[in-house]
A and B are shown apart, each in its own frame.
Chain A
Amino acid sequence: MIGSSPRRIEDRPLLTGTARFAADVTLAGQLHMRVVRSQLASGRIAAVDVDAALEMPGVAAVWTGADVGDLPPIDFRMTKVEGLSPYRQPVLAVDFVRYVGEPVAVVFAESEYLAEDAADLVFVDYDDLEVSLDVTMPTLFQPDLSGEPARIEKGYGDVEKAFGEADVVVELELAIGRHSGVPLETRGALATWDGAALRVYGAAKVPHYNRDAVARMLGLDRDHVHFSEGHVGGGFGIRGELYPEDVLVCVAAMRLGRPIKWIEDRREHLVAANHSRDQVHRIRAAATRDGVITAIDDEFFHDQGAYVRTHAATVPDLTAAMLPGPYRIPSYRVTGHIVLTNKTPAGTYRAPGRYEGTFVRERVIDAVADRLGLDRIEVRRMNLITPGEIPYERDLLALGTHVVYDSGDYPTLLDAVLDHVDHTTLVAELVSRRGRGELVGMGVGLFVEKSGLGPFDEVRIELSEDGTVEVITGVASIGQGIETAMAQVCASALGADFESIRVTHGQTDRIDRGMGAFATRTTVMTGSATLAASQTLRRMIIDEAAAMLEASPADLDVAEGRVFVVGSPGASVGFAEVGAVTGGLSATEEFTTDHMTYPYGVHLAVVAVDAETSAVAVERFVIGYDVGKAINPTLVEGQLVGAVAQGLGGALYEEFVFDDHGQPLATSFMDYLMPTLTEMPPVEIVLSEATPSPLNPLGVKGAGEGGITAVGAAVAAAIDDALTSPGLVRRLPVTPDRLRAV
């Protein structure tokens, strides 16, 4: 089964309308929560008048910050950096509001419509305060608190010496716009309290962590808190983190004694769920006249928005740690300023830090090549880490783990992509088309991704009395096909019938530990744990079957849910018989690791710029990507193509724009422009399994993020080429207005 592409086992309810997304769950007696959000980007709360809302029939309660003042702010899940704690977000604003969309009050009513009516009657009186929007000019967060709580500093080698000896130095200021995951299902949560235990529906991504966090915040024993994941309409990093609204439904369920349901609307989502990207980089590169890059020195400003949420410093940390990418770069220094502004708080979005860092690095490499009059691809090739240098250790930490590129052959993958497009011919065609007046060009971006973040994953596989097989994990499904992939691993290693395997995830009452789905970790971590548990259960089943068949375990094999004697397949027992005789069997195994694995890729874009409108159309997009081993090639390709669409959004269309007062201007899908089919080029994939990871028994490296990483970089380079203007693109997204302006 491993390496084949069976149809997904999770699809049927999704196709027939019987799936259960958060909004589809209804509990008897439920109240609906509606959040009253700040309409001001920066202000002092003078008064909140809730009387009119409370008087409305059908309204059960209205709370302001004072009502939940006993709750701690929401804590960090990842990448703790000293000094960030005072910047955590309170569950409801107290005294100050810091972004448009910040929860100020909540209304609980008998229906969604009534709750929304009542929320309109809550009147908040603010005193305006100065607005901070320029990430390069930090202001004060509070009178005694800096707007720049921390800096990320990393590096190795002697940067000063390298710049002193350089033949050429290029220096660029580059910016990546503010955009985010924007899953098609908005957020939602439903909590119910039975007097002893709290149950939360609508969980996603990290159910076990959120169970523990809610238990801590509410002073509950974690055994009395259960998070349950239903169907989840896309994640992309932003969904499933613990947000104020999640905590509020839990507290309200306990205090009001009724189930509480909250479903976000789209406008709320665009101002309240995590934004991402939004960095300004000032980067310098030192190089020899031959094009060998000897040092990179980068200073960047990370717009964290109004608070530091669960990801803490994850995005700037990854930006800094992954910026050198697939190149040798003997000396490197980076300073990342984490800056608070009066915009929606930011968190991770697919390829956090790498989309940004790859755009910046690839732009600077283009600039070195352009300055020296060398071919952009040849400059890349001469700086690439070669297979003989791998494993390649960078003297850097990423998410607290040492950056060691575990496997890879970067030059060969680059060649494979160039061969795929017949590079020489393609370049000639583009030159010829430009000669006819067309504005067409090509760009490439190379990158190293990361995958398989530890420290552990645990899987239990149960053979039931009736012979069915259930894989139980603490991972989560956000649409990536985790059930199918895990069933494939289990079917292969256990010998179970693929179609009959059930995969249970995201249920904290079914398994006590779990890390969840993020950082392109699940196929590596959960897959390896599933493999181990399958192998253990297989041995147990064979031992039982050996007794039943009066055969030696060494003579038995397992396939399609039957144990048989090798050479005489007539002598066999099915899993159902083994289940019936044993009353069921269960095997639990974990997989642990201290190191991530590093997949890598090449993106190539061909674009055409419309001379009249300055609109950019992407004609063709090619991804070369090495996953080590594809469990299910169709799912891998699906991940890559979907990620390209999102990458194009960030490169050309999507941006959370704010006016001078901090008012968000992209608050609907009419203003926040996600790519439709019309904007999508055909995506061609050169999938490589050339270098399996030595860090896990499957040899896999994740594919969740590699489709997005270099899209901005490749598109930017292609636009330069189309307009024969090296270094033209310095900021994403490249909107027609911006392109016209330069």
Chain B
Amino acid sequence: MGDHTIDLTVNGTTHSIDVEARMTLADALREECGLTGTHLGCEHGVCGACTVLMDGQPVRACLVFAVQCEGVEISTVEGLARDGQLHPLQQAFWDHHGLQCGFCTPGFLMLAVGALAENPDPSDEEMIEILSSNLCRCTGYQNIVKAVKAAAEHMRS
């Protein structure tokens, strides 16, 4: 169907897929790779629900084309838990009631994973700046901040 055959490496697994040039990374992950943990909240790069990592950097998967992603390591929420063991950020979101409907959660998790890899000990101001990248409509953010702070501390120790 598509015009381009590409190899998309997601969470260490390579998917050989046919896509049109216009297919977004988010749609390719969801429709072609079956990884529906990456959610679409606005499709114009504001809400951040579709945040994934490209070579460790958080990006909006709705603003990236799949054909741009050959030779790049994509990380999604499905790759966070290992052998049934939750990632410290997942665990902290659970412990601190950092989610209600859970739709924005994968995006916040990937945003935080990427940001903490770059700066494991952000100040309160830096934390507010980072987490203001994404929208949550349920929690009022308070418990998301608590969760990310707790996870950051845990990951540093």
Contacts and interface: CB of A to CB of B under 8 A. Distances in A.
A185 B41 contact: yes
A236 B100 CA distance: 12
A263 to B, nearest CB: 8
Contacts of A232: 101
B76 interface: yes
Contacts of B94: 7-8, 11-12, 15
Contacts of A265: 43
Contacts of A235: 101
Nearest to B95: A7
Contacts of A686: none
B40 A15 contact: no
Contacts of A59: none
B37 A18 contact: yes
Interface residues of A, number: 58
A478 B139 CA distance: 13
Contact of B140 (A13, A186, A641): A641
A15 B102 contact: yes
Interface stretch (B66-74, B104-112, B113-121): B104-112
Contacts of B5: none
B38 A184 contact: no
B51 interface: no
B103 A16 contact: no
Interface string A222-240: 0000000001111110000
B152 interface: no
Contacts of B44: 266, 668-670
A24 B86 contact: no
A680 interface: yes
B81 interface: yes
A234 B138 contact: yes
Interface residues of B, number: 57
B140 A683 contact: yes
B78 A479 contact: no
Contacts of B46: 668-670
B54 interface: no
B22 A113 contact: yes
A682 interface: yes
Nearest to A639: B100
A645 interface: yes
Nearest to B36: A24
A208 B20 CA distance: 41
A635 interface: yes
B41 A184 contact: yes
B39 interface: yes
Nearest to B78: A17
Contact of A16 (B40, B86, B140): B86
A696 interface: no
A736 interface: no
B93 to A, nearest CB: 6
B103 A21 contact: yes
A36 interface: no
A519 B27 CA distance: 36
A235 B103 CA distance: 11
A236 B49 CA distance: 19
Interface stretch (A42-50, A548-556, A671-679): A671-679
B102 A11 contact: yes
Contacts of A73: none
A597 interface: no
Contacts of A481: 100
A3 interface: no
Nearest to A265: B43
A400 interface: no
Contacts of A113: 20, 22-23
A59 to B, nearest CB: 15
B77 A16 contact: yes
A677 B97 CA distance: 16
B150 interface: no
A674 B47 CA distance: 10
A231 B110 CA distance: 20
7 contacts: A11-B94, A184-B104, A184-B138, A674-B137, A677-B132, A678-B128, A680-B141
Interface of A: 5, 7-8, 10-21, 23-24, 26, 111-113, 181-186, 231-236, 265-266, 478-481, 634-635, 638, 641-646, 668-670, 674, 676-678, 680, 682-683
Closest CB pairs A-B (n = 6): A17-B37, A479-B101, A14-B102, A233-B103, A669-B46, A17-B77
Interface of B: 1, 20, 22-23, 27, 30-31, 35-44, 46-47, 49, 76-78, 80-81, 86, 90, 93-95, 97, 99-106, 109, 128-129, 131-145
Given A5-B97, A23-B36, A231-B102, 7 more contacts: A23-B39, A113-B23, A185-B101, A266-B47, A642-B139, A645-B137, A682-B142
